[in-house]
Structure 1
Amino acid sequence: MAKKSFVQGAVILGIAGIIIKVLGAFFRIPLANLIGEEGMGYYQTAYPIYVLFLTLATAGIPIAISRMVSERIAVDDYYEAHKVFRVSFILLFCIGIFSAAICFFGAEQLVGFMGNPGARMAMMAIAPALLFVPMQAAYRGYFQGMQNMKPTAVSQVTEQFCRVGVGLFLAYYLISYGKQHAAAGASFGATAGAIGGVVTVVFIYLYMRGSLEHNIQRTKRRSTEKSSSILAKIFIIAIPVTIGAAIMPIMNAIDVSIVMRRLQETGWTYAQANGMYGQLTGMAGPLINFPQVLTQAVAMSLVPAVAAAYKQKDMHFLRENVQTGLRMAIIIGLPCALGLMALSEPIMLLLYPMQRESALSAAPCLFIMAFGVIFLSTVQTLTGVLQGVGKQMIPVRNLFIGALAKVVITYTLTGVESINVKGAAIGTVAAYMIAATLNVAAVKKYTGARFDLMLTYVKPIVSTLVMAGAAVLVHRVCLGVLGNALATLLAVSIAGAVYCILLFVTRSIRREEIVNLPKGRALLKLMDKFRK
């Protein structure tokens, strides 16, 4: 198998991720304006439970599929790679049935445990998605193992289109029946999206079936590995990954209970506590998720690339991928973090004009959580590296240590009346900071990678600080003339352009890395013309 950089796959998934998040904004923002903080409280109570079960069902196995397929293709064993896919699909289908049944039939007990019984219908509406998402995860893992990220990207975008369209339509239609019904309608959008994603990825698989079968038929050596052996290897990889991926959703689910109870213990009413939690997770939280999708694209693309290099014992190419991966995470995470911090209040007012008071209250939460984006980007990327070299338990341990700190900090600070729900945001940032530091040390130890201080950290930080200053300056100058909405959009646009220019001026991105981008050679020629 020829060497293949992970960068193109990361760009493809990143572009898809941006489209998905833009569509998500068209979902979350109108939804929050439509059903308000009360409805978002119901929606956000059901959603973390869904994410937890989804994580348990799909977080580890697709990574295992991707890594095992990549390792087999690295030695041209396409037959065994396809067998891994078949076995894992059956496994994921069974897990999906079990997860969906628990969330649907046990909805009342689950949301009751979370202290928000009004979210029962939302939980039931989102439960069927747990049947369909694992099915498409098997296909995605198979394609990712071949370092083909296009099927994943296309199916993700289709899934989001269906989710947004159906979810908003049902929320609007059901709002007259009450906010609990509207939240349930919004939740059902995830089920509709999951169905759309499955149909799309199956169609792509059938379209590519001829070339896939050709590669399988030309495999020189037919392995006699039993399905039970493949299952055992899947579990060896998947269980630690799943545990690691489940840690933060579990902590977020616990957050609901801690935050709701601690706020009420300090004098806030149930309605006020529910509204404040809605501000944290339903209004500020989605903005933090936006940069995540870009760094997650890097991590997903890194796993098969690192696994293939590790299988072939090509340590030089492995270290190149690791170093480039961390630099991409920093280059993406830093501007997102400081940009959101610099314009936290204007951005909240831009996105939630019909909920002005709630938007202003949520702005401090966004400011705090935005700082954590830097560390979350590092955690996600280096977790992919450690999974690729077979050290999947290391990031689990590191994140668990961070999560324990989060519980203590959240419980302590949320009980302080003046800090209130911001304590949960501080706890989250602390968790990722601890996990990121430990992951960097682990990657250095197990891969031998060394990171250029100037290239990896200093140059991106300088570019980001100038960008943040430009954003604040433009917004302040234009606010009185254009109003907040246009001033904020202009500030973000100019700041983004300034940052991109500075990356090239400071040479934070090298020429050989530009070549690896889609249409990279054409971009490089265009840059050279401007330099002349």
Structure 2
Amino acid sequence: MEKKTQHPASDSFVKGAFILGITGVFVKILGAFFKIPLANLLGPEGMSYYSSAYPIYNFFIVLATAGLPTAIGKMISEQRALGEYDNIDRTFKSGMLLMTAVGLFGSLFMFFGADMIVEGIKNPNAALAFKALAPAIVIVSLMAVFRGYFQGFQNMKPFAMSQVFEQFGRVIVGYGLAIYLLDRGLELAAAGATFGATTGAIAGLGIIFLTYIKFKKKHAKEIAHQLTGKILSHSALIKRIGMIAVPITLGAAVMPLMNTIDVMLVMNRLTDIGMGENANDLYGMLSGYAATLVNLPQVITSAIQISIVPAVAALFVRKEANNLSRTIQNGIRMTLIISMPATAGLVLLSQPIMELLYPNQIQYAQTTGQILSILGFGVIFLGMFQVTTGILQGISMQNRPAMNLMAGAIIKILLTYILVGIPSINIYGAAISTLAAYGTATTLNLITMKRHANITFDPKVVVLKPLLAVLVMSAVVILVHMGSLLIMPSKLATVAAIGIGMVVYVIMLFKTKTITEEDYAMMPGGRRLKKINDRFFK
């Protein structure tokens, strides 16, 4: 009979999600502090050189990082669970061989093809920026293998440390070189800024490599003995990595492709209904303002996805049904705890938030606010899609999320064409279709989990408790905002409503026992939080 005690895999999953979530927020903030002064330094022309290099770079980075760390992490987690320790080392080396080849190809293509590419995009002065960025591809590819290795051991600290060092290197060196080279021309200054990504990648790879060496020495006894006779060849392991990574990578490519189609479709349909003169402004409000805010909670929910895959994989191969269900329930519950209040805040305070963040574009606040009030609901669907995708990847159903997202993308294209073409709906149709796309993909993921893996969860624990906390928070936010407008400027009223709403939400999480005893044991700083809870809320 299976024990009902919490398995260490589930403990590590929650800790890992917290670590990656906090790191992700920090890295995002650091990136914003880099981009804003860099834009002021280089101006529109210099930023065009800087930005032109990134679409090609990002394409190869998606190839290197979208599926491979997850594939290696999943395989190593399964091998640990089954005692196949020799295969862990072989999986790591196979990943290194594969990604060295992919990374070198990408770096060489971008470096030696830079002159041809910039001629094709009609931006010949960006060639140096391309060449300065090219070496980062192979370095990031190798770093992805190390990240996958530690993901398999459910140790997210090295993963997080490499992200921080990478971003610091990018910001410090990139901005420093841009300042130093500015007198020599915008081409060199932009190249210096892009070279920051290369030095950042070197810093990230260096710290995770040193951590790997220490980790191997510390855990030498654990990985010294193969407990089964099943030793796989490098070719078999590379094939297995590809079988897992390719569907995940294809899935990651669906949304960028869909967004590319979306740009053309939205602009054309707005023109068809006589709104061509305002098409650029309307699309900018959707993609540059509202969508940016909706994507922010993704930093934390993607951390949950990364962390849950190896935990689910280990429990799944060991057939520990109770612990598997508990881990999945925790993952979905954590996602809703983050995404539900974010949705409520973005929907209820959509226009005030736009007025607060974009004071120089106040004339667009009403329209962008209305777009945000629609897109805000997408935070829940996007977060749920991410975590259910991680769960399906963990139980070896990595093909299904890509197929489900493709179904959502088709619905988005159809709805965008129909709705944006209705004059009374116009740009709001694009927001509605995005909501429908993620809603469809999430629903299909949940159906797949239920139908093919018989995975279920307790709605009271997972949905109703955090929903109650969100409803109370929402009522307080509305009352505080309305009351504050009578005695203070609108921006301060918005800040007050957000701040008090967050405090009330945290209190309600404690009062409704949405945060459980297990959560305190698993999360960093959990003991201190439990003492606070016991002192004030019992």
TM superposition score normalised by structure 2: 0.85
1:149 Cα deviation from its structure 2 partner: 0.6
For the structure 1 residues 139 and 277, does the alpha-carbon distance in structure 2 shift closer, same or farther, using more than 3 Å as the test?
farther
For the structure 1 residues 360 and 506, does the alpha-carbon distance in structure 2 shift closer, same or farther, using more than 3 Å as the test?
same
1:402 Cα deviation from its structure 2 partner: 0.3
For the structure 1 residues 28 and 266, does the alpha-carbon distance in structure 2 shift closer, same or farther, using more than 3 Å as the test?
farther
Please name the residue that 2:510 is paired with.
504
1:305 Cα deviation from its structure 2 partner: 0.8
Rounded to whole Å, the distance in 2 between the matches of 1:416 and 1:165 is: 48
Please name the residue that 1:428 is paired with.
434
Corresponding residue SS for 1:528: helix
Please name the residue that 2:243 is paired with.
236
For the structure 1 residues 328 and 401, does the alpha-carbon distance in structure 2 shift closer, same or farther, using more than 3 Å as the test?
same
For the structure 1 residues 425 and 101, does the alpha-carbon distance in structure 2 shift closer, same or farther, using more than 3 Å as the test?
farther
Rounded to whole Å, the distance in 1 between the matches of 2:514 and 2:308 is: 20
1:426 Cα deviation from its structure 2 partner: 2.7
Corresponding residue SS for 1:527: helix
Q: Is the 8 A contact 2:118 2:126 kept in 1?
A: no
Which shifted more, 493-502 or 69-78? 69-78
Rounded to whole Å, the distance in 2 between the matches of 1:359 and 1:172 is: 35
Rounded to whole Å, the distance in 2 between the matches of 1:421 and 1:179 is: 36
Give the 5 Å matches for 1:8-407.
8-27=15-34, 50-102=57-109, 121=126, 124=130, 128-165=135-172, 190-219=197-226, 224-263=231-270, 273=279, 276-357=282-363, 362-407=368-413
Corresponding residue SS for 2:217: helix
Which shifted more, 351-360 or 445-454? 351-360
1:492 Cα deviation from its structure 2 partner: 1.9
Rounded to whole Å, the distance in 2 between the matches of 1:359 and 1:185 is: 36
Rounded to whole Å, the distance in 2 between the matches of 1:42 and 1:260 is: 25
Aligned residues: 529
For the structure 1 residues 481 and 108, does the alpha-carbon distance in structure 2 shift closer, same or farther, using more than 3 Å as the test?
farther
Please name the residue that 2:459 is paired with.
453
Q: Which amino acid aligns with 1:7?
A: V
For the structure 1 residues 170 and 87, does the alpha-carbon distance in structure 2 shift closer, same or farther, using more than 3 Å as the test?
same
Rounded to whole Å, the distance in 2 between the matches of 1:448 and 1:184 is: 53
Which shifted more, 39-48 or 210-219? 39-48
TM superposition score normalised by structure 1: 0.86
1:434 Cα deviation from its structure 2 partner: 0.2
Rounded to whole Å, the distance in 2 between the matches of 1:105 and 1:423 is: 43
Q: Which amino acid aligns with 1:26?
A: F
Please name the residue that 2:9 is paired with.
4
Corresponding residue SS for 2:297: helix
Rounded to whole Å, the distance in 2 between the matches of 1:140 and 1:292 is: 19
Rounded to whole Å, the distance in 2 between the matches of 1:495 and 1:29 is: 29
Which shifted more, 453-462 or 101-110? 101-110
1:107 Cα deviation from its structure 2 partner: 6.8
Superimposed CA distance per residue, residues 427-478 of structure 1 (whole angstroms, 9 cap, x where no aligned partner): 2221100011111111122332322222222222232133233334333433
Please name the residue that 1:437 is paired with.
443
Q: Is the 8 A contact 2:354 2:369 kept in 1?
A: yes
Rounded to whole Å, the distance in 2 between the matches of 1:279 and 1:434 is: 24
Superimposed CA distance per residue, residues 87-142 of structure 1 (whole angstroms, 9 cap, x where no aligned partner): 102211221233345556667987999xx856983983755543332221110000
Rounded to whole Å, the distance in 1 between the matches of 2:279 and 2:176 is: 28
Rounded to whole Å, the distance in 1 between the matches of 2:417 and 2:299 is: 28
1:316 Cα deviation from its structure 2 partner: 1.2
Which shifted more, 359-368 or 154-163? 359-368
Q: Is the 8 A contact 1:24 1:164 kept in 2?
A: yes
Q: Is the 8 A contact 1:33 1:354 kept in 2?
A: no
For the structure 1 residues 433 and 169, does the alpha-carbon distance in structure 2 shift closer, same or farther, using more than 3 Å as the test?
farther
Corresponding residue SS for 1:290: coil
Q: Is the 8 A contact 1:121 1:181 kept in 2?
A: no
Rounded to whole Å, the distance in 2 between the matches of 1:488 and 1:189 is: 37
Rounded to whole Å, the distance in 2 between the matches of 1:290 and 1:298 is: 14
Q: Which amino acid aligns with 1:519?
A: G
Q: Which amino acid aligns with 1:58?
A: T
Superimposed CA distance per residue, residues 326-346 of structure 1 (whole angstroms, 9 cap, x where no aligned partner): 111111111111212222233
1:199 Cα deviation from its structure 2 partner: 2.5
Rounded to whole Å, the distance in 1 between the matches of 2:488 and 2:136 is: 43
Q: Which amino acid aligns with 1:210?
A: K
Rounded to whole Å, the distance in 2 between the matches of 1:22 and 1:286 is: 13
Q: Is the 8 A contact 2:52 2:126 kept in 1?
A: no
Which shifted more, 144-153 or 202-211? 202-211
Q: Which amino acid aligns with 2:66?
A: A
Please name the residue that 1:524 is paired with.
530
Rounded to whole Å, the distance in 1 between the matches of 2:188 and 2:423 is: 32
Q: Is the 8 A contact 1:319 1:448 kept in 2?
A: no
Q: Is the 8 A contact 1:62 1:140 kept in 2?
A: yes
Q: Is the 8 A contact 2:312 2:327 kept in 1?
A: yes
Q: Which amino acid aligns with 1:83?
A: R
Q: Is the 8 A contact 1:44 1:282 kept in 2?
A: no
Q: Is the 8 A contact 1:296 1:380 kept in 2?
A: yes
Rounded to whole Å, the distance in 2 between the matches of 1:517 and 1:506 is: 18
Superimposed CA distance per residue, residues 482-504 of structure 1 (whole angstroms, 9 cap, x where no aligned partner): 53444333322211111111122
Q: Which amino acid aligns with 1:156?
A: Q
For the structure 1 residues 340 and 393, does the alpha-carbon distance in structure 2 shift closer, same or farther, using more than 3 Å as the test?
same
1:417 Cα deviation from its structure 2 partner: 5.7
Which shifted more, 260-269 or 48-57? 260-269
Rounded to whole Å, the distance in 1 between the matches of 2:87 and 2:199 is: 33
Q: Is the 8 A contact 1:467 1:499 kept in 2?
A: yes
Rounded to whole Å, the distance in 2 between the matches of 1:363 and 1:180 is: 38
